[in-house]
Amino acid sequence: MPQRLVITGRSQEPRARFTEELRRLRNERGLSLRDLAKEVGWDSSQFSKMESGQTLGGPEVVQALDQYYGTPGLLVTLWELAVADPTQFREQYRRYMVLESEAMNLWHYAVSRPPGLLQTEAYAREALAAGGLEGRELDQQVEARVGRRELLKGADAPTFRSILSEAVLRTRLRDKREWRKQLEYLAAVSERPNVTLQVLPLDAGPHGLASTAMMFLRLLDSRTVAYAENDVHGELIEEPAMVERFQRTYDAVRDVALPPAESRTFILRMLEEMRCEPST
């Protein structure tokens, strides 16, 4: 008769299991977080946040831990499962929303739609409905998204830069009148002293953010975190090396975008073209 397997009692939830293994491996070595930082080369605060579940870290740091502990592939596998866990997206997004409300500076790149902070109510409703929301849930999400615009108002509002792919301005709402209002809102908000809008022309060519919307948040403690999102997945990135890499990519995109004044002219020109079209 085969020997019965022993049930470990460890968590079956991917994120919790990952953090448990991190703590177990460190404790088995009798290491403090500071000791681990000296051995592996990352800041001790990074390991503290990973072990407490505040962040999952990036693949580089997880691979380094696998190598140090002599557990080839174990931690990377657990990390991949945690990142892919559907509940992880909701947890990360909730944490992102808290950080966004506390940020001093925000930088954004938009792939195909205006950032939520700059959407009109009609745009938010059509975009969210296209994602499958309806009824009361749709109403609640529209109200929440429109409410986020208050973040950019007032004397203490953070500075906000958004680079809009030209595709954002070419993908209209079905209701042309509401689309005009969205363009008018973008033109108006671009005149605020704390808001900078730039348009990235389609003829700028391929670039490192072609399929990824990005938001960078500069926090009160001077840290910068990033949130990367596509149609099926979002990820809060706090590991400094990864944030820096994405920032370099963002800077390269900003360098080929139209300057703010030319970008506003671009938006106003699109508005003029629409005003020449018949209303629907």
**Domain residue extents for the chain:** 14-84, 91-276
Query: Looking at per-residue confidence, does 154 or 178 come out higher?
Result: 178
Q: Across the strands, what pairs with 164?
A: 110, 199
The predicted-structure confidence for 121-170, as pLDDT tens digits, reads as follows 999 999 889 888 889 888 888 888 888 888 898 888 999 999 999 999 99
Higher-confidence residue: 246 or 132? 246
User: What are the backbone dihedrals phi and psi of residue 173, each rounded to the nearest 5 degrees, phi first?
Assistant: -70, 160
- Record: fold of 14-84: 434 Repressor (Amino-terminal Domain) (1.10.260)
Global pTM exceeds 0.75: no
Q: Which CATH class is domain 91-276?
A: alpha beta
Q: Is 127 helix (H, G, I), strand (E, B) or coil?
A: helix
- Mean confidence (pLDDT) of the chain: 87
| pLDDT on residue 258 | 97
91-276 matches 14-84 in CATH topology: no
Q: How far is CA 133 from CA 119, 128, 136, 140, in A?
A: 17, 6, 9, 10
DSSP one-letter string for 65-101: HHHHHT-TTHHHHHHHHHHH-HHHHHHHHHHHHHHHH
Per 3-state DSSP, what percentage of the chain is helix, strand, and coil (rounded to 5)? 55, 10, 30
17-58: per-residue pLDDT in tens?
A: 889 999 999 999 999 999 999 999 888 888 888 888 877 777
Q: What is the structure's pLDDT at 278?
A: 62
